[in-house]
Amino acid sequence: MEEALINIKNTALSFILETDDPKNLEEIKLQFLGRGGKLTLAIKEITRLPQEKRREVGMLANEVKQTIENTISERLQKLTQKKHISLSKKLDVTNPGAKPPLGHLHLVTQAIEEITYIFEHIGFSRVRYPEIEWDYYAFTALNFPKDHPARDDWETFFIKEETNPKMGEILLTPHTSSGQVREMQKKQLPIKMLNIAKCYRRQSDVSHTPMFHQFEGLVMGKDISISHLKGTLDYFVKSYFGEKRQFRIRPYHFQFTEPSFEVDVTCGVCLGKGCKLCKAGWLEMGGAGMVHPNVLKFGGIDSKEFTGFAFGWGVERVLMMKEGIEIDDLRLLYSNKLEFLEQF
Ligand code: DAH
């Protein structure tokens, strides 16, 4: 009798585990546990056994019944789950293929690459200097007086660290001009430096972000004059914005250049006629000038023998001045919003 029960169990289990169809499980259940089922009939036989055997065999029969029932419900669960997954993953080979999404460089990185390419073409070498900088290189060595407003907490991010008697405080560099004296101290003349880097200022609105990029040029050697600066400006403006765009220089004041200029470029929409966007036809690009003799002194260069020009412009700014690019809020550039970034 025990052997018969074990056989029933094994047969039932092998049927249950071999089927892939939930409907078969129902049939198997009837076949073994239904009214005329194999196990039901076997259980009826137990009453015929001698009294002392009935209890033991009865327990075994119960265990077999439990095992069959449990295995059926487990299998049923597994099959319905599996079916669900295989349906959703079903592959229709007649469907057209889906292209994997392709990323591209960030708009600002694209601009940096383009600017680098333009200047490398006329012999500039790309350099980078610390973003976390001494006050000395950002201000003192650039001829800024002690009480200049740029040194205010409201303009520049200062870092709470011990100050250095010569170098002063540590700060996040507010402009790439901090690379000028570092470059001069290398004592490798002539200089044709292009410093493109992140800069930081306490500002955040539609046209400013606390972190932004500048590109700084420094050219130094014998007989370097304003004509070289103007030639370089003309070359850059035509290469980056296109042949139709003009530039002009206006007298201005910077601590580290004398004379200093503000450089304007004709608006890309009206080409200088004046329109809603630019009003008078010109857009301001940034500063430039002839390196101040005091700055040369800080750089350890004899101002009687060498002269130089410098310029420093915002990458995001020149990008916005390019034709066909209109960004209402500059902060979008750093928001990581793919719907915005994918447009470029
Ligand atoms: N550093 C200046 C700024 O951030 C820009 C600048 C002006 C850079 C004149 C120069 C320069 O190299 O000659 O506003």
CATH number of residue 185's parent domain: 3.30.930.10
Same domain, 253 and 127: yes
Of 56, 88, 120, the one marking the end of a domain is 88
> What digits encode the pLDDT tens for the residues 234-276?
999 999 999 999 999 999 999 999 999 999 999 988 999 998 8
- In this predicted structure, what is the pLDDT of residue 82? 62
Same domain, 55 and 154: no
Tokens of 220: 């130094």
Same domain, 113 and 82: no
Query: pLDDT class for 102, splitting at 50, 70, 90?
Result: confident
- In this predicted structure, what is the pLDDT of residue 21? 87
- At 301, the amino acid letter reads I
Same domain, 217 and 277: yes
Same domain, 135 and 36: no
Tokens of 313: 């412009």
Q: Name all residues whose Cβ lies below 6 A of ligand 1.
A: 175, 177, 216, 254, 257, 260, 286-289, 310-312
Mean pLDDT of 45-73: 91
State if pTM tops 0.75: no
Q: How far is CA 313 from CA 138, 177, 296, 310, in A?
A: 16, 10, 21, 10
- In this predicted structure, what is the pLDDT of residue 326? 79
- In this predicted structure, what is the pLDDT of residue 80? 81
d(Cα 126, Cα 257) in Å, to the nearest integer?
Answer: 21
Of 53, 88, 123, the one marking the end of a domain is 88
Task: Please indicate, yes or no, if residue 93 is contained in any of the structural domains.
Answer: no
d(Cα 119, Cα 196) in Å, to the nearest integer?
Answer: 11
d(Cα 18, Cα 65) in Å, to the nearest integer?
Answer: 19
Q: Are 269 and 278 in contact, with CB atoms under 8 Å apart?
A: yes
Burial, 195: exposed, middle or buried (Cβ in 10 Å; 0-12, 13-18, 19+)? buried
Average pLDDT in the chain: 92
Q: Is the pLDDT of residue 183 over 90?
A: yes
Mutation probe of ligand 1 site: the residue of 127, 173, 175, 284 with most atoms within 8 A of C-beta? 175
Neighbours of 198 (CB within 10 A): 15
CA of 188 to the centre of ligand 1 (A): 22
Domain count of the chain?
2
| CA-closest residue to ligand 1 atom 13 | 288
Neighbours of 244 (CB within 10 A): 11
Task: Please indicate, yes or no, if residue 97 is contained in any of the structural domains.
Answer: no
Same domain, 239 and 313: yes
Task: Please indicate, yes or no, if residue 98 is contained in any of the structural domains.
Answer: no
Same domain, 65 and 122: no
d(Cα 277, Cα 323) in Å, to the nearest integer?
Answer: 12
CA of 275 to the centre of ligand 1 (A): 27
Tokens of 128: 């980078």
Q: Is the pLDDT of residue 83 over 60?
A: no
Task: Please indicate, yes or no, if residue 95 is contained in any of the structural domains.
Answer: no
> What digits encode the pLDDT tens for the residues 218-235?
999 999 999 999 999 999
Same domain, 71 and 32: yes
Mean pLDDT of 214-219: 98
Same domain, 75 and 209: no
Mean pLDDT of 318-342: 87
Nearest to 237 by CA among 148, 177, 313: 313
Domain that holds residue 15: 2-88
Tokens of 306: 């060498």
d(Cα 86, Cα 274) in Å, to the nearest integer?
Answer: 64
Share of the chain above pLDDT 90, in %: 72
Q: Closest ligand 1 atom, CA of 177? A: 1
- In this predicted structure, what is the pLDDT of residue 287? 97
